[in-house]
Amino acid sequence: MEYIKGFTFAPFAGAGDFDTTEARESLRLMKERTGANFVTFVPGGLQKTAHSEDILYTTDRTMTDDELCNMIDYAKKLGLRVALKPTVNCMDGTWRAFISFFDEDVVCEPKWGNWFKSYTDFQVHYARIAKEHGCELFIAGCELVMSEHREKEWRDVIAAIRSVYDGAVSYNTDKYQEHNVSWWDCVDIISSSGYYPLTDWDRQLDRIEAVVEKYNKPFFFAETGCMSVAGSPEVPNNWEVKGESDLDGHAVWFDEMLSKCMKRPWLKGVCIWSWSNHLYDEADINNQKNYEVYLKPAERVINAYYCNKEA
């Protein structure tokens, strides 16, 4: 497996967001400035609440298929390998990890079976696009923690994807959950969200290594990142941290993460969250207390690792 030196680009972009000169230029600069060889696009699906059965992906809150296809083709023209990761979110703001239903069907209550049918349709739609446009990887969703015990349904989702797509298939579980997924044998690559505290990387990588050895599968972090705000390196998964800008701490976290990850031969790469389709001015970086790395010291750290790591 070729090493992944990646970024997630403009996750959950809406209709029109990819169909601009600015977006294409941003993608080009991402590759040029960081040395990335891989990009993940994240078409967003929407359900009303964590207990809704229907997933929508044709509203103006999701990029159009034509936009997505054109951006995939442009990324490949730039020499980037491409993953698609269709990801569902809740309109009421509830984190997708809490999507859940009764394990026993109850009359007049929403059901796992109905949700998984809608979810499968959502995934297969984008798996067809991945096939048609030569995407190297398909990631069957992200951080759906409270669904992951539904092993049969997840195996059926993966099988449905494989019926229309012949590339590598993964699934992105959440941080700390790598050892809880019982159906890793049915995917080609194990992946997770690597939002681990600055001082905890060795312990967490030791734990994940045991999972990789058990299933004998490649592994990469389909997401990893930290905000450039004081306190984020200790809890990089918490996007609600408030405080002063901390560009140096941001860079230190990336240096530690990349240093630890690249010393593990079984770990086949990282995909950093994230790179926007709208780029800000350098004078504004202290106000960008988010996961973006553009023009921040962390960008130089990433470039140094990506450009010196053999594929």
Helices (H), 65-166: 65-77, 112-132, 151-162
Q: Which domains does the chain have, with CATH numbers?
A: 4-308 (3.20.20.80)
Distance of CA 20 to the CA centre of its chain: 23
DSSP 3-state helix, strand, coil percentages of the chain (rounded to 5)? 40, 20, 40
- The pLDDT tens digits for 72-130 are 999 999 999 999 999 999 999 999 999 999 999 999 999 999 999 999 999 999 999 99
Residue with token string 């592994």? 219
**Residues 6+ away with beta carbon under 8 Å from 85:** 8, 40, 41, 42, 138, 139, 141, 142, 172, 222
Q: With b meaning 16 or more CB within 10 Å and e meaning fewer, what string describes 42-57?
A: bbbbbbeebbbbbbbb
Q: Is the dihedral of CA 299, 86, 239, 149 positive or negative?
A: negative
Residue 2: count other Cβ atoms within 10 Å of its Cβ.
11
- The pLDDT tens digits for 255-278 are 999 999 999 999 999 999 999 999
What is d(CA 45, CA 164) in angstroms, rounded to the nearest whole number? 19
Q: What pLDDT was estimated at residue 309?
A: 80
Instruction: Tell me the three state secondary structure of residue 137.
Output: strand
- The pLDDT tens digits for 177-219 are 999 999 999 999 999 999 999 999 999 999 999 999 999 999 9
Q: What pLDDT was estimated at residue 191?
A: 98
Average pLDDT, the chain: 98
Residue with token string 């229309």? 164
Closest CA to 289 of 226, 234, 235: 226
Q: How confident is the model at residue 311 (pLDDT cuts 50, 70, 90)?
A: low
38: left (phi over 0), alpha (psi -120 to 50) or beta: beta
Beta bridge partners of 38: 6, 81
Q: What pLDDT was estimated at residue 310?
A: 78
DSSP string, 23-45: HHHHHHHHHHHH---EEEE--EE
Over residues 169-175, mean pLDDT: 98
Residue pair 187/159 in contact (Cβ under 8 Å)? The answer is no
